[in-house]
Amino acid sequence: MTEPFDLSGKVAVVTGAGQGLGREFARALANAGADIVVAELNPETGPDAAAEIRKIGRQALALETDVRDRSSVQSAVDASLDAFGHIDVLVNNAGITIWGEAENVPSEEWQKVLDVNLTGLFYCCQAVGKVMIKAGGGSIVNVASMSGLVANVPQSQASYNATKAGVIQLTKSLAVEWARHGIRVNSISPGYMDTPMARPHFDDPKVGGVWMDRIPMGRAGRPEELGPAVVFLASGASSYVTGSNLIIDGGYTAS
């Protein structure tokens, strides 16, 4: 790590960091020097991820958190401040997808996707944003998706696509509002990533086959190919970057 990417002495809160991409982001931020708060719904994976971070040599705190619940988010922010005294980086990673044809999506499924992906993300931005405003700055990285820019096929996931488009626009809105407070707000938009959760889809030719045909680089992304982008946006290396959406999709949305 060269100096601009150094996160030594910084505290990063990562939502949904118990597994998958969030866990990878926590690992990457810790390797860049940050102490980590794992704000995770799952009471088993959160502490496990925190234990892994401690093995890297950083401090880590696992907090059982439901981003859909404003008071749960506030408790996590309060506990983070009690433990570390400051929050410098927020990575809003927690997210879910529920596939279903738009004409048949039940209202509770529609609402659940919105609650986690958009409203929950906003609650986290709001609670941590207040801390950062008081402190005079910080960096927020929102995990959007290429699905915020294109409607993927062959799966039907209108609710997911709508929330991720919302995340990209919310990111710009907060970046503009909070620039005067020294807070930078950016998003990343990954394409198809080869996570354990996604693997069964990749192995299904009717789904994964269609995906592969549309990725110019001809392969899924590896989770560790996203970590450096999050470190870039979290750190001083991106000191003049705000309101941006960094697409990391093997060229999918370019074709």
Ligand X SMILES: NC(=O)c1ccc[n+]([C@@H]2O[C@H](COP(=O)([O-])OP(=O)(O)OC[C@H]3O[C@@H](n4cnc5c(N)ncnc54)[C@H](O)[C@@H]3O)[C@@H](O)[C@H]2O)c1
Catalytic machinery residues: 145, 160, 164
Q: How far is the CB of 96 from ligand X (least distance, A)?
A: 5
Q: How far is the CB of 113 from ligand X (least distance, A)?
A: 10
Q: How far is the CB of 253 from ligand X (least distance, A)?
A: 12
Pairing of strands 183-190, 89-92: unpaired
171-176: which pairs have CB atoms within 8 A and are 24 or more residues apart? 171/140, 171/142, 171/144, 171/243, 171/245, 172/243, 174/125, 174/129, 174/140, 175/242, 175/243, 176/243
Nearer to ligand X, 14 or 237 (CB): 14
- Do 61 and 78 contact (CB within 8 A), yes or no? no
Q: Which residues bind ligand X (CB under 6 A)?
A: 15-16, 18-22, 40-42, 45, 65-68, 93-96, 116, 120, 143, 145, 190, 192-193, 195, 197-198
- Do 188 and 143 contact (CB within 8 A), yes or no? yes
Q: How far apart are CA 30 and CA 35, in angstroms?
A: 6
The candidate with the shortest Cα–Cα distance to 194, out of 182, 183, 203, is 203
Nearer to ligand X, 138 or 190 (CB): 190
Q: How far apart are CA 11 and CA 119, in angstroms?
A: 23
Nearer to ligand X, 83 or 96 (CB): 96
Q: How far is the CB of 15 from ligand X (least distance, A)?
A: 5
Q: How far is the CB of 216 from ligand X (least distance, A)?
A: 17
- Do 14 and 26 contact (CB within 8 A), yes or no? yes
Nearer to ligand X, 21 or 32 (CB): 21
Query: Distance of alpha carbon 133 from its chain centroid, rounded?
Result: 21
Nearer to ligand X, 224 or 239 (CB): 224
